[in-house]
Chain A
Amino acid sequence: MSTESQNLESLIQRNYTAGFVTDIEQETFPPGLDETMIQRLSAIKQEPDFMKEWRLAAFRGWQRMKEPHWSIARYDPIDYQGFSYYSSPKSRSSVGSLEDIDPKLLETYEKLGIPLHERAALAGVAVDAVFDSVSVATTFRETLAKAGVVFCPISEAIRNYPELVRAYLGSVVPPGDNFFAALNSAVFTDGSFVYVPKGVRCPLELSTYFRINAAKTGQFERTLIIADEGATVSYLEGCTAPMRDENQLHAAVVELVALKDAEIRYATVQNWYPGNERGEGGIYNFVTKRGECRGDRSHISWVQVETGSAITWKYPSCVLRGDDSVGEFYSIAVARNYQQADTGTKMIHLGRRTRSTILSKGISAGHGHNAYRGLVRMGSTAQTAHNYTQCDSLLIGSAARADTFPVIEVENASARAEHEATTSKISADQLFYCRQRGLTEEEATGLIVNGFCRDVLLKLPLEFAVEAQKLLSVTLEGAVG
């Protein structure tokens, strides 16, 4: 059996195809984090005063907070003074005019498979491209504007729609929510802003592509999506970064607000650089994502495919405040080499007859360690609320680990929460069966993993499901030993 498991180990090597660096002149703040830097950042972005004050208040709160260490992730203390908090390509022209954009940037996104020119772009998908600290392009703005949909960099929204931003920013994830959310609130640089007006079904898939390029730079993006009454929107984010030896910090905040009868579907394909096979380098991904079903019959669903990052600390959650509102969380998380993924969700049931579904698929390979951490809370007002949770773990090789930490709190006797969990291995029998039919060990592993993830892959928009399947295969394939 030992040759079998060695072969499996070698399967887990992979090429990280997004690992190149774009050689471009950037304007970058010197490393360091203090009030002066934040003021300078706010000034560069030409923010109104309320925003600057909001940042400074968040920063003061953050200084009194402690880095959390309750997750499974083990890492050396992070030197927050060692990062630069702003980096922008110098040649960047006014956002939105694709004609004047630096060709090197276009080329970068082209290489990543995200053509920004509208004639080459994915049909039916509008893209906001964020490069380090700034948004460099947003496509299909006019089509969207006709439908009344606002889709723009958040820094632009702060200037152009200050009332909306003021009303909603921090209303789901307050600045003091947790250590990383506080840091993000103080120093966030860019990200996407979406507002879909009453009764509008957004005519395109919206998507943001985050790219970290500069060395020793943190990326702190902030996304805010508001679906007004009866509105519907589907959003996808993708992320990559160059291969660098040192760890890079990414601390994002995403807030979703669904008003009465609104629906938001938020999908993530996260492929940050995971570090090498010895566990060196890679992104630290500390992210707070939360959606609030504020109105009755509203609906929020999170779908995530997490294959990258050295450390993932991420719990996309739903606060189900409106009666009959629905929350969903569908997740595939891969941890290989020395990746550590601590991810899961929270479903907070407050409204009557609220329903939630959690489906989590964790894949651990090599020395990877995957943990599902979930909280289902049935508040005292959550009359006949219902949750169904299923957590499945797949182990590849003998050094991989998987844990699940489900917590269920029920304060209303009429509410119900069901939980199921399984742990399985890719068995030698399954591999042999596939190989006897002519598949290589890699192909067999890819196919078995795809089978394991199928329920979640089906939840992705079709074009991205194909992408995600490819990504999963690339993640788990490599040189066969």
Chain B
Amino acid sequence: MNLLEIANLHVSVGDRPILRGIDLEVPSGEMHVIMGPNGSGKSTLVQTLAGSEAYTVQQGQVRFAGENLLGLKPEERAHRGLFLAFQYPVEIPGLGNALFLRTIVNAVRKTRGLPEWDALDFLSRSRAELEQMGMKPELLERAVNQGFSGGEKKRNEILQLRLLEPRLALLDETDSGLDIDALRTVAQGIESMRDAHRSFLLVTHYQRLLDHLRPDRIHVLANGQIVQSGDADLARMLEKRGYDWLLQEQRA
């Protein structure tokens, strides 16, 4: 069964068309990857799926677990199990990370009919996850993402992914800015979340994250359209040859 179904999606920023007819299906339990040149519309796609008001849907449909996704508010999408790890995680000055994490976990658990975590539940769960993500405990006491290094921000995103346990995780360049060890930690953090009911849509520029993850499908986004789809070998080919040959093939 498809968890996510995108049909003929057109999206613009102001008057400027960015996505020009995207068709994409992600079955339950699969991991799909979006690659493509800078500015091709990858972040636009995942931000639109998460409900960002910066983007306007001009045409097309998106179904999430059979439901019309585009009619839902961002928080309703989150409640139904959609999660976006941001390419540029946002800083919230003064707001303690621990308070933030506990608030969002309980907001989501409540809508799923699960018991809320009290301070102790939260402490034990978050400590374990923090360790798994190789994060310093003090990052819980600091303000959300404020003054975090690039790598710490990305790990904090995956920490949230792990605490929120979504059905669909959209990961926008979670691998960029990570050192070699961090890349392995983050990859493990993602890999251990995979199961038959959870799907992933990963945006990346590099093969190195994929080496750890064995994705099911690779899609190439260029000029707002998916120009090629294939299995994991496609990513390796792109790593060697870049995008030019693909785009030339397109034009031909």
Using a CB–CB cutoff of 8 Å, the interface residues on chain A facing chain B are 1, 3-4, 424, 427-430, 432-441, 443, 447-448, 450-455
Given known A450-B95, A454-B96, A455-B94, contact A439–B103 (CB-CB < 8 A): yes
Segment among B32-40, B74-82, B119-127, B224-232 that sits at the interface with chain A: B74-82
Q: How far apart are the CA atoms of A424 and B92 in the complex, in Å?
A: 11
Given known A428-B54, A443-B107, A447-B103, contact A435–B78 (CB-CB < 8 A): yes
Q: How far apart are the CA atoms of A105 and B98 in the complex, in Å?
A: 42
Nearest-Cβ distance from residue B145 to partner chain A, whole angstroms: 9
* A-B interface pairs (CB < 8 A), number: 82
Indicate whether B186 reaches chain A with its CB closer than 8 angstroms: no
Minimal Cβ-Cβ distance residue in A for B103: A447
Given known A432-B52, A451-B143, contact A437–B92 (CB-CB < 8 A): no
Q: Are B104 and A437 in contact (CB under 8 A)?
A: yes
Nearest-Cβ distance from residue A363 to partner chain B, whole angstroms: 12
Q: How far apart are the CA atoms of A436 and B100 in the complex, in Å?
A: 13
Q: Are A447 and B86 in contact (CB under 8 A)?
A: no
Minimal Cβ-Cβ distance residue in A for B86: A433
Q: Are A4 and B51 in contact (CB under 8 A)?
A: no
Minimal Cβ-Cβ distance residue in A for B78: A438
Given known A436-B50, A443-B103, contact A451–B94 (CB-CB < 8 A): yes
Given known A436-B50, A436-B74, contact A454–B104 (CB-CB < 8 A): no
Q: Are A433 and B89 in contact (CB under 8 A)?
A: yes
In the complex, chain A residues whose CB is within 8 Å of the CB of B144:
451
B residues 44-97 near A (Cβ < 8 Å) are: 50-54, 73-75, 77-79, 83-84, 86, 89-90, 92-96
B137-156 interface mask toward A, CB cutoff 8 Å, 1 = contact, 0 = none? Answer: 00000011000000000000
Q: Are B92 and A451 in contact (CB under 8 A)?
A: yes
Q: Are B78 and A436 in contact (CB under 8 A)?
A: yes
Q: Are B164 and A430 in contact (CB under 8 A)?
A: no
Nearest-Cβ distance from residue A124 to partner chain B, whole angstroms: 22
Q: Are B73 and A435 in contact (CB under 8 A)?
A: yes
Indicate whether B176 reaches chain A with its CB closer than 8 angstroms: no
In the complex, chain A residues whose CB is within 8 Å of the CB of B100:
447
Q: Are A448 and B164 in contact (CB under 8 A)?
A: no
Indicate whether B160 reaches chain A with its CB closer than 8 angstroms: yes
Q: Are B164 and A438 in contact (CB under 8 A)?
A: yes
Nearest-Cβ distance from residue B55 to partner chain A, whole angstroms: 11
Indicate whether B2 reaches chain A with its CB closer than 8 angstroms: no
* Size category, B interface: 20 to 34
Q: Are B90 and A438 in contact (CB under 8 A)?
A: no
Given known A451-B94, A451-B143, A455-B94, contact A435–B89 (CB-CB < 8 A): no
Minimal Cβ-Cβ distance residue in A for B112: A438
Minimal Cβ-Cβ distance residue in B for A4: B53
Indicate whether B188 reaches chain A with its CB closer than 8 angstroms: no
Indicate whether B132 reaches chain A with its CB closer than 8 angstroms: no
Best-surrounded residue of A428, A429, A441, A455 (most CB of chain B within 10 A):
A429
Minimal Cβ-Cβ distance residue in B for A440: B75
Nearest-Cβ distance from residue A456 to partner chain B, whole angstroms: 10
A to B CB contacts below 8 Å, 17 in the list: A1-B53, A427-B90, A429-B90, A432-B52, A432-B90, A434-B104, A435-B73, A435-B75, A435-B78, A436-B50, A436-B83, A437-B108, A439-B103, A443-B107, A447-B103, A454-B94, A454-B96
Nearest-Cβ distance from residue A196 to partner chain B, whole angstroms: 34
Minimal Cβ-Cβ distance residue in B for A435: B74
Q: Which of B52, B75, B94, B160 is close to A453, meaning CB atoms less than 8 Å apart? A: B94
Using a CB–CB cutoff of 8 Å, the interface residues on chain B facing chain A are 50-54, 73-75, 77-79, 83-84, 86, 89-90, 92-96, 99-100, 103-104, 107-108, 111, 143-144, 160, 164
Given known A429-B90, A430-B90, contact A437–B107 (CB-CB < 8 A): yes
Given known A443-B107, A451-B144, contact A438–B75 (CB-CB < 8 A): yes
In the complex, chain A residues whose CB is within 8 Å of the CB of B74:
432, 435-436
Minimal Cβ-Cβ distance residue in A for B47: A432
In the complex, chain B residues whose CB is within 8 Å of the CB of A448:
92, 95
Q: Are A3 and B93 in contact (CB under 8 A)?
A: no
In the complex, chain B residues whose CB is within 8 Å of the CB of A447:
92, 95, 99-100, 103
Q: Are B93 and A451 in contact (CB under 8 A)?
A: yes
Given known A428-B54, A432-B74, A433-B89, contact A439–B96 (CB-CB < 8 A): no
Q: How far apart are the CA atoms of A453 and B54 in the complex, in Å?
A: 28
Minimal Cβ-Cβ distance residue in B for A1: B53
Q: Are B111 and A438 in contact (CB under 8 A)?
A: yes
In the complex, chain B residues whose CB is within 8 Å of the CB of A438:
75, 78-79, 104, 107-108, 111, 164
Given known A430-B90, A433-B89, A451-B144, contact A439–B107 (CB-CB < 8 A): yes
In the complex, chain B residues whose CB is within 8 Å of the CB of A429:
90
Q: How far apart are the CA atoms of A14 and B73 in the complex, in Å?
A: 22
In the complex, chain A residues whose CB is within 8 Å of the CB of B92:
430, 433-434, 447-448, 451
Counting from the closest, the 4 A-B pairs by CB-CB distance are A451-B95, A451-B94, A438-B78, A437-B104
Q: Are B78 and A437 in contact (CB under 8 A)?
A: yes
Q: How far apart are the CA atoms of A287 and B53 in the complex, in Å?
A: 44
Given contacts A432-B90, A436-B77, A447-B99, 19 further A-B contacts (CB under 8 A): A3-B53, A428-B54, A430-B92, A433-B86, A434-B92, A434-B104, A435-B74, A435-B75, A436-B75, A436-B78, A436-B83, A437-B164, A439-B103, A439-B104, A447-B103, A451-B94, A451-B143, A451-B144, A455-B94
Q: Are B90 and A439 in contact (CB under 8 A)?
A: no
In the complex, chain A residues whose CB is within 8 Å of the CB of B96:
451, 454
Nearest-Cβ distance from residue A48 to partner chain B, whole angstroms: 51
Q: How far apart are the CA atoms of A438 and B164 in the complex, in Å?
A: 10
Minimal Cβ-Cβ distance residue in B for A450: B95
Q: Are B53 and A432 in contact (CB under 8 A)?
A: yes
Q: How far apart are the CA atoms of A454 and B95 in the complex, in Å?
A: 7
In the complex, chain A residues whose CB is within 8 Å of the CB of B83:
436
Q: How far apart are the CA atoms of A427 and B93 in the complex, in Å?
A: 12
Q: How far apart are the CA atoms of A334 and B153 in the complex, in Å?
A: 31
Q: How far apart are the CA atoms of A439 and B50 in the complex, in Å?
A: 13
In the complex, chain A residues whose CB is within 8 Å of the CB of B108:
437-438
In the complex, chain A residues whose CB is within 8 Å of the CB of B50:
432, 436
Q: How far apart are the CA atoms of A439 and B95 in the complex, in Å?
A: 14
Minimal Cβ-Cβ distance residue in A for B107: A438
In the complex, chain A residues whose CB is within 8 Å of the CB of B104:
434, 437-439
Q: How far apart are the CA atoms of A455 and B93 in the complex, in Å?
A: 11
In the complex, chain A residues whose CB is within 8 Å of the CB of B95:
447-448, 450-451, 454
